[in-house]
Amino acid sequence: MGVSFDKIDGDMLLKFDVRPSANPTSEKDRTAKLADPGFGRVFTDHMAVVRYSQAKGWHDARVESRANFALDPATAVLHYAQEIFEGLKAYKRDDGGVNLFRPDANARRFRNSADRMAMAPLPESVFIDAVEQLVRIDRAWMPGGEGSLYMRPFMIANEVFLGVKPSAEYIFAVIASPVGSYFKGGPAPVSIWVSENYTRAAIGGTGAVKCGGNYAASLRAQAEAIDHGCDQVVFLDAIERRYIEELGGMNVFFVFDDGSLLTPPLGTILPGITRDSIITLAKDSGMRVREETYTIDQWRSDAGSGKLKEAFACGTAAVISPIGTVRSASGDFTINNGAAGTVAMGMRKKLVDIQYGRAADPHNWIRKVL
């Protein structure tokens, strides 16, 4: 028997009660904050919130002033980490309008994450509506240029109970954070540390879903990467400890001298929307793309022989980050002499141009919010 959630209707439409903040941030303070927002520390004035209980299903949908949640110390999420999240961005077009990029894919992944974590599934229409409403009410917070508004939908188990079971109550919320370019100084190549002591995901585990617990478990490995002078950590598979999986929060691609691309197959990795978009765009342009396993030893030897031309990481926050150096306990190697590669940079431009509405959108990925 699975977990059952009776009150979910796939086509359910919830109407959001929109209550604009009575004392929004002044234009002067907002302008100052938008001048150099960095990543994830500046927030807009509002949030979207929807509640779930077994008795009422999803209810009480609101867009309201961003505020603290009142949580009982025995709230389930604080103890057993029944929590999932998403990350997507709103982009300002040159004509002043605003684009979302593939929000339907985030909504679907959120439902899959909820299913794996035995949480109440949120109708995809409610997810998208919540994101769109928040973008609209906080449109004054949209950065221009290469900035964007990072949207963070998430869901927490809200039942007050210390027993171990799926919660009977949930809070779904969306907050928004204006961000500048993710890596200061543009997409400079990153150095990555090969984690040999820690793994991220095993078959049957939660590697393929976006849950906070995966991140909690990755922090020690990330700290080890920093200790070794690296920007990020790359994880290997949990069984043979040699197949490349992904970084703590980004998928990886390899570019070969025959012009082909390789990326690790789905399974224990997070099915990135950026990953999927890159595969599609690469195939559009006639490149061969393989979703195949690749070992750390092969990576090292291909980098040495020149068969491997480039490697890059990808995800919504940073789009594409070239990988310049790989470090591990058994030695270091560089890729493309530590410089950003043309395939990575070309792919980055292609994606970003679609996101900001500067290029054609042949796959209908863009959803205009404003």
Ligand X SMILES: *Cc1c(COP(=O)(O)O)cnc(C)c1O
Binding site for ligand X (CB under 6 A): 87, 210, 246, 249-251, 270, 272-275, 315-316
Q: Closer CB to ligand X, residue 25 or residue 274?
A: 274
Q: How many residues does the chain have?
A: 370
**CA-to-CA distance for 245 and 234, rounded, in angstroms?**
7
Closest CA to 284 of 187, 365, 356: 365
Q: Closer CB to ligand X, residue 61 or residue 343?
A: 343
What's the closest the beta carbon of residue 293 comes to ligand X, in angstroms? 17
Q: What one-character-per-residue DSSP string does 305-355 give?
A: HT-EEEEEEEETTTEEEEEEEEEETTEEEESGGGSPPHHHHHHHHHHHHHH
Q: Closer CB to ligand X, residue 129 or residue 246?
A: 246
Residue 51 CB coordination number (10 Å): 17
Closest CA to 368 of 19, 63, 100: 100
What's the closest the beta carbon of residue 92 comes to ligand X, in angstroms? 19
Q: Closer CB to ligand X, residue 87 or residue 97?
A: 87
Q: Closer CB to ligand X, residue 232 or residue 336?
A: 232
85-98 as b/e: b if 16+ CB within 10 A: bbbbbbbbeeeeeb
What's the closest the beta carbon of residue 201 comes to ligand X, in angstroms? 9
What's the closest the beta carbon of residue 70 comes to ligand X, in angstroms? 28
Beta strands 88-92 and 98-101 are: antiparallel
What's the closest the beta carbon of residue 200 comes to ligand X, in angstroms? 7
Beta strands 88-92 and 366-368 are: unpaired
What's the closest the beta carbon of residue 246 comes to ligand X, in angstroms? 5
Q: Closer CB to ligand X, residue 169 or residue 246?
A: 246
